[in-house]
Structure 1
Amino acid sequence: MLREPDAIGTLVLAGYQLSLVLFTLGTVLAAAGLEAPIHSDHALWTAALNLLLLCVAIRLAERTARRLRSRRDGS
């Protein structure tokens, strides 16, 4: 399945980055007195679902930025 060292390294680095983003987001939400968008009885499910939402948001932001750049470069 994962035989390429570069692929494993990429997954590990992505995990580090997403952990840092989630830690920062959790700190900001706690300081603002807000709750996470998803709650569950199990902490791992909560973390996984919040991470999924974050990844979707990052992906949408990346696609939006790509479209804006291509429009700017095309005109």
Structure 2
Amino acid sequence: MIANLYRTRKRAIPDRAPISFAPKGWMLLILQDGKIDRRAYELCLFSELKRPLDAGDVWVEGRSGFQSFESFPNSQADV
């Protein structure tokens, strides 16, 4: 969804955007007057994605830096 906003150059986050990933502390910043604040939404989204990306729990298809755990070579086979 974020990539699509950048591609289409739209500024507003759609009302149907998921916010269930956001911790309670972020909710006051994300929801401003009943609307989603884009800057706070993006900051929260990327900060919440950092840990799972680093751990290999989620990955970015086609990127070498954040691959799925299964795609790494088996280090035990070389021993």
In the superposition, the TM-score normalised over structure 2's length comes to 0.35
In the superposition, the TM-score normalised over structure 1's length comes to 0.36
Q: Which structure carries more relative contact order (alpha carbon 8 Å, separation 6+)? A: 2
Normalized per residue, the structure richer in helix is 1
Normalized per residue, the structure richer in strand is 2
